[in-house]
Structure 1
Amino acid sequence: MKPEELKPFVDFMKAHGLLTLSVEKPDFKLYLVKEGAETLVSTPTASARLARHSPAYAKATAGKLGEGGMLAAGLALEPVVNKNAVSVTSPLVGTLYLAPAPSAAPFVEVGQEVKAGDTLCVVEAMKVMNEIKSEVNGKVLEIKAENGKPVEFGQILFLISKP
């Protein structure tokens, strides 16, 4: 990719106040991070991807893909608005669970103090439960994903205050 081809992506990031931008097409992947942006991606115990021809992929991307298979503007791209927070993102595609069991209390709640290593949630992929753990000490400022709903790779799940 030539530098002049990156300009529209950089302009899009500036216009929408984004700190990161991820674009995936069949022939390339692009991941841009604004200088000074702090994003943590937890390492899963297993990984999963939806095959592009699978019904699950079609359902997950329905109405979200624009021309050329790119994400339509404003969809699945969220700016991190709190500069005093660290975002915890999903390391894989799967189903998010905020509690260890349907009737159990959630792993964490907004306002709760967490330590590095505390379990924040579980992402299920291919019947494997992957614990997502905090990599920092701080307070949970926001839970940005919904229990039992699908999450994408790189989707922001939690905002945690910086130590």
Structure 2
Amino acid sequence: MDIKEIQNLIKFVAKSGASEVKLEMDDIKITIRTGSESDTTIVHQVPAAHQMPQIAQQAAVPVNTEAVAPVAAAPADEDSKYITIKSPIIGTFYRKPSPDKPLFVEVGQTIAEGDVLCIIEAMKLFNEIESEISGKVVKILVDDSSPVEFDQPLFLVDPS
């Protein structure tokens, strides 16, 4: 893990609002604490005999922040007729209410105003995201169980 990846991780944690993240990989151990008077990053080299890959506090904190960057929009002329439904909060995006239940919506499905499209978990609260428009789901822009940012595009809907 190079210094650039560590800096990207620090920026990601600061944006996420987490107060502390611990990351242990092969020969490196990182603790990032935010919210205090000064942000603190502690990096330790661990001898190779103590290799225990583990992530604590924040499950699946990506080292490469490009993996959670908003999906780039397709060419403007192609998507201009579609309405984008965006995330109203920061959290984890889920396409179904629980692992054993069916998906809320699928590509090609017709939705009505008030239909639940997904759930976004934020601080252990599961928030149902309802459609504010009627139409046909053209594209789902986020993978299930992925972190999402405020105002990140989630769905493309054809209102016609």
- Fold conserved (TM > 0.5)? yes
Instruction: Give the alignment partner of residue 107 of structure 1, picking from 90, 104, 122.
Output: 104
CA distance in 1 between partners of 2:84 and 2:142 (Å): 12
The Cα of 1:155 is off from its aligned counterpart by: 1.2
- The one-letter code matched in structure 2 to 1:79 is A
The Cα of 1:97 is off from its aligned counterpart by: 0.9
What secondary structure, in the 3-state scheme, does the structure 2 residue paired with 1:146 have? coil
Q: Does 1:51 align with 2:17?
A: yes
Q: Deviations over 1:60-105 (max 9, x none)?
A: 6x444xxxxxxx8xx5362254111111111111111101110111
Which residue in 2 is equivalent to 1:76? 70
The Cα of 1:52 is off from its aligned counterpart by: 6.4
Q: 5 Å matches for 1:16-55?
A: 50-51=16-17, 54-55=20-21
Instruction: Give the alignment partner of residue 147 of structure 1, picking from 144, 147, 160.
Output: 144
| Greater RCO (Cα-Cα under 8 Å, separation 6 or more) | 1
CA distance in 2 between partners of 1:159 and 1:80 (Å): 11
Q: Deviations over 1:144-163 (max 9, x none)?
A: 11111211111111000023
Give the alignment's TM-score, normalised by structure 2: 0.57
Give the alignment's TM-score, normalised by structure 1: 0.56
Matched-pair contact (CA < 8 Å) for 2:70–2:153 = no
* Higher mean C-alpha deviation, range 102-111 or range 145-154: 145-154
Task: Flag structure 2 segments of 5+ consecutive residues without an equivalent.
Answer: 1-14, 22-57
Structure in which a larger fraction of residues adopt strand: 2
- The one-letter code matched in structure 1 to 2:106 is E
Query: What percentage of aligned pairs have identical amino acids?
Result: 37
- The one-letter code matched in structure 2 to 1:160 is V
What secondary structure, in the 3-state scheme, does the structure 2 residue paired with 1:110 have? coil
CA radius of gyration, larger in: 2
How many pairs does the alignment contain? 106
- The one-letter code matched in structure 1 to 2:131 is S
- The one-letter code matched in structure 1 to 2:70 is A
CA distance in 2 between partners of 1:54 and 1:154 (Å): 24
Q: Does 1:126 align with 2:123?
A: yes
Query: Structure 1 residues 54, 80: CA separation in 2 closer, same or farther (over 3 Å shift)?
Result: farther
Matched-pair contact (CA < 8 Å) for 1:119–1:132 = yes
* Root mean square deviation, CA, Å: 2.6
CA distance in 1 between partners of 2:101 and 2:71 (Å): 31
Matched-pair contact (CA < 8 Å) for 2:71–2:141 = no
